Structure 1
Amino acid sequence: MLRTNRWAACGLAWAIGAAACADVLHLHDGRVFEGVVVRGTDGAVTIDTMIGRIRTTLRFSAADVERVEGRPLPAAFFDHPRDDAARAAADLDAPSGRARDATYYLEAPIRGVFGIDVLPRAIEETLDFAVRRGIRHVVFTIDSPGGEVWAADAIALLLERFADRVTCHAIVERAISAAIWVAFSCDHIYVAPNAAMGAAVVFRGDASTGHAAVDAKMTSAYAGKLGAIAERRGRSPAIPRAMVDQTAELYTWVDGAGARRFASYPPAGAAYETLDTVETVLTLTGDQMLRLGVADARIATSAELGDSIGLPGWRQPVAFGTATAAKYAALARNAQQGLRDHAAAVERGVKEARDHSPERSSYTYHTNGAFTDASLVRWRENVERCHLMWRRVSSDISAYGQAIDDAEKAGLPLDLETLRRQHREWKNEASRRISELLAQRHRTGR
């Protein structure tokens, strides 16, 4: 009841916002979204809004909404970004401008956790946009603690797929764990101030778990894959292997011809440097990356990259990569939170509605089988209460279905078939019970 009353208050503000042709959605975590609320229920609220330059629809659990208020929508709120994109596209398609002095690039931010903030679908859309618009350079600005390997591996495969159509640059601020997949998959690596890269142990062997051999095999497989990726880009495969394999050792030295060498064992008869031992996991600073040839230069931002590498007219015509990353991150977070929260809400609601089924109460009857007056009132009250419970459950079930759709759009590696089957079962039960209760509203006896 408390949740319903709280959302009713939000609903009042929503109605005011609708009259003002705009809504401002305030969340309990401090985030604010401006746009038009297109759907609001006890379970969820959906707003049509802008993320960067991309128009998108976001859905939030009603429990996360602090308030919805009305405010005049800025003129051409939804139109300006489209106009900007259209102008950028026209600019890109103008042969004279392109040939004369422009070198276009897109920035693709790799910021946050892989599998939540960093998603393959966003990278694929950005690379595809670049190819369709004839943009030859994509700059990945990396500041990530890592995350899910499936996402990093999928992005590495995408960069391989687009390798002959775009040149990929990585500017590393922090590339830890899974983030090294993207850095090593790029054609060029640059370091920002205070950069760090490494510590990508995927599986930790522990004899007490009984899975040490499996861990070792998987570690070896990932180390080999990353080593091959680095080698195709002209880098030593030994470096990513040492970042992935906790048991690896890494030594480096300069040979007689002046070439830098790397090996998992110290060289005989040469002065060498120990980079990694079995007690450590390789992590390199920006200075080390430059000295060891992992990085090409020191560059702080994507905007200054063009001048540093001698490309004239270096500019980004539209922030497509940034907006796309934000769009998919919002989808993924909505999906993950929605699946968790709405599944729990449905399970609680179903149990509550079943427990309050009107058939579970006791009633008194006349000799002809009709309810007594008191029992007739109680029956109708119980039917109405149970009907409202199933209505609330139905709203949560709809929100759960939307979360499944968001998960599919975001490309999350979930068992969607099982989730949809559970959604159908809940939906069918709720629909059946609502229909039965509506039919029983006017029941007068046995």
Structure 2
Amino acid sequence: MRKLRAGILPAVVFGLLFTGFGLCGANEVLKDPTTGRPVRYGGRFETRRTVSVPPYLQRAREMRGVWVATVENIDFGRHTDAAGFKRDFIAVVNNLQRAKFNAIFFQVRPMCDAFYPSKHNPWSRWMTGKEGQAIPNFDPLAFMVAEAHKRGLEFHAWLNPYRVNAGAQVGKTAYLKTLDNKSFAKRNPGLVLESKLANGRYSLFLNPGEPRVVEHIADTIAEILENYPVDAIHFDDYFYLYSDIGTIDSASFQRNNPGRLSLEDWRRGNVDKAIYTVKKTVDAYNRRSGRKVAFGVSPFGIWANKKSNPNGSLTGGKQSYYAQYADTRGWVRKGWVDYIIPQLYWPFSHEVAAYAALADWWSDAVKGTRVRLFIGQGLYRVGAERIWQPRELVDQMRYNQMLFNVDGTVIFSYRNVFMPGNGQMKEAVSRILQGCWRYPARLPDYPNVR
């Protein structure tokens, strides 16, 4: 989702966080906080158009979600006993219910591991502090889904399909030795790719070009579906690495490329196969069970820049289509996902990734499909620099209301909502919760679910 940051979230008293704000503003032309001039619609790529937003009008149905990241214990701490886990998770869902959220995106597979008893993956180190170590006589996922549902919250099981680590000081051979014997990566070192990062650390991830990796991902999803009444299966933005990986997968490329595709198209095809397989796995389960579990992805916010692709956006940043080989627009157009949550972690006044141009692009991307569009908003950015003012996220929500295809918001992340890191972030939270989300909202349905 973003650069990893360690920390354990202590207990928070909900009522201390928020002061009241009125309605979310009148119809107005937005101003660049760094210049005082009207915001340019597309940053440096469209300078003539300005951006206006209407007053906020609460909807009867909209997504109001939040990501709870367990990797590095960003949003949820480690526990060795069921009582502590239960206490802290109940605090989480109670806070969400009081704040008028209606969905939780909880990370149950941070790094080829599990927050539930699994035949395919070891217990997560981020759960107890040691990979493979369980909380005795306790199934965390069963408990979490039940408690979320008691409070009217959808539970989206958030998985990272490929990541083995987020960067280690030691290389592949040494790192795999540290993993639990149940780890798919440890049992199949030949299916793990290693890339040296710019900071000198080593990043490991499952090789998307190997069919056994796709099978493992599908088996992992099927196990969750068969054992837990989750409302959705959810992937984040990590596919191939953001950084250049060179030709580390050349052997797989030569062996598993009967169509003689280019390396870039072959890699995109590999990720396509995983997404398609998961969608088919979820659909098959729904047909057998009569349930309506959704499958969704939260990708990096830029699919492609218009300069690189005629179908791209008025942007100039990194592109998931070319950098990560993730054809997120294609998945939408083909109906391989039931919802998509692009991470639009930029403000209106950004020079190369202006919010308005990107929100419009994504609204157009889902037009004519049955795929729901929610916007991922980066609360953690507020207050980090002058361009990120407390009103930014509410202004984005106001703008979204002009886009027929936008059906709500998911915020990164829980810690930032209930333990804001600075005064401006705290004000931003108050503007959303006290100014905009005064009343509950029902969740939209997922018309693409089969």
Q: Normalised by the shorter chain, which TM-score bucket?
A: under 0.3
Q: Normalised by the size of structure 2, how large is the TM-score? A: 0.25
Q: Counting helix residues as a fraction of each chain, which structure ranks higher?
A: 1
Q: Counting strand residues as a fraction of each chain, which structure ranks higher?
A: 1
